[in-house]
Amino acid sequence: MKIVFMGTPAAAALSLERLLETGHEIVGVYTQPDRPSGRGNKIVFSAVKDLALKRDLRLFQPAKIKTPDALAEFRSLSADVAVVVAYGRILPEGFLDAFQNGAVNVHFSLLPKYRGAAPVNWAIVNGETTTGVTTIRMNTGLDTGDILLSREIEIGADETAPQLMDRLAVIGGDVLVETLDKIDTIDPVPQAHEEATFAPIMKREDGLIDWSMKSAEIAARVRGFQPFPGSFTFHEGKRLNIWSARAVGAGDKDRTVPGAIGSIDDGRLLVEAGSGTTLLIDEIQLEGKKRMAVREALNSGHFKIGQRFTS
């Protein structure tokens, strides 16, 4: 099948690789324009661009796609279908209808749950125990197209968003190939729009820990808000990132002080949270320092029982 592939991050590159492995003809690859990244504002190529260059694929990085010239160039590729995996832009209707089989999107949730930019993160933050991959026939709505195929998986109890995304990216490539193989026989199923939930792009302030939440809720946010915005609090006026933490049971609801260090014992840092619950913190990052195990930070005397983390 002749395919125009549209995607940007590493998860999308895995789908592109899978299409190449299974013998599909990639007549064009669209990815986001190069942008500066990091402290030195060094130009970094997207994972999809890296792969396209290595495989000598025809590459497009338009700054604008809502123009007649952009649409004409797109249509000139004469593909059978467009495949979209985390491209990072909403496609105009002309792009969706340009080819015989329209545009197929790989979305990393079980639609209609978690439409939007960050489905993997919000599934973890909201305490879901399962998620999955869905392929849809795209329309002009935000992840509202008819469902083609889906595959469900369990979310690990301690799984972070990057770890879950790595698993889903592999599954996404497999579901995509199966979808294209069956494209002529699949009966698309309309989504139950009344069951839809939204997974917006995260904001920096989402990472600020509210210690009045239960410890299980905080731990879910620590796992889900990685790599951005991270989960952070303040200790003695300085920012403290928490990279790994676990809920370890209930305490005395009448005596708990949310955010207070309740125990330091054998390299363990336990902090009181809402409703009498307790959070065991395993890995932190002090402002201006590298990530470290809590045991290392405790050895340096940074924390004392009774001190309170603040929001």
What is the tens place of the pLDDT at every residue in 147-189? 999 999 999 999 999 999 999 999 999 999 999 999 999 999 9
- SS3 at position 183: coil
> Would you say 95 and 65 are in contact if contact means Cβ atoms under 8 Å apart?
yes
Question: How many whole angstroms separate alpha carbon 229 and alpha carbon 205?
Answer: 8
Question: How many whole angstroms separate alpha carbon 148 and alpha carbon 134?
Answer: 7
Which segments of the chain are extended strands (E)? 2-7, 25-30, 35-37, 42-44, 59-60, 81-85, 103-107, 130-137, 146-154, 231-235, 238-250, 261-265, 268-272, 277-286, 291-293
Q: Which domains does the chain have, with CATH numbers?
A: 2-195 (3.40.50.170), 204-299 (3.10.25.10)
pLDDT of residue 227: 95
What average pLDDT does this structure show over 120-147?
98
What is the tens place of the pLDDT at every residue in 5-20? 999 999 999 999 999 9
> Would you say 65 and 34 are in contact if contact means Cβ atoms under 8 Å apart?
no
Alpha carbon 260 to its chain's center: 31
pLDDT of residue 43: 86
Model confidence at 256: pLDDT above 80 = no
Model confidence at 300: pLDDT above 90 = no
Model confidence at 252: pLDDT above 60 = no
**Which range has the worst mean pLDDT, 22-26, 107-111, 249-253, 272-276?**
249-253
Give percent of the chain above pLDDT 90. Answer: 90
Q: Is 80 exposed, middle or buried (0-12, 13-18, 19+ CB in 10 A)?
A: middle
Of the candidates 26, 80, 32, the one whose C-alpha atom is nearest the C-alpha of residue 60 is: 32
Question: How many whole angstroms separate alpha carbon 128 and alpha carbon 139?
Answer: 27
pTM of the prediction? 0.94
What average pLDDT does this structure show over 204-221?
97
pLDDT of residue 60: 98
Model confidence at 251: pLDDT above 60 = no
What is the tens place of the pLDDT at every residue in 144-156? 999 999 999 999 9
pLDDT of residue 150: 98
What average pLDDT does this structure show over 75-93?
97
Model confidence at 27: pLDDT above 90 = yes
pLDDT band at 255 (very low <50, low <70, confident <90, very high): low
What average pLDDT does this structure show over 196-224?
97
Model confidence at 203: pLDDT above 70 = yes
Average pLDDT, the chain: 95
pLDDT of residue 249: 72
pLDDT of residue 116: 97
> Would you say 227 and 162 are in contact if contact means Cβ atoms under 8 Å apart?
yes
pLDDT of residue 65: 96
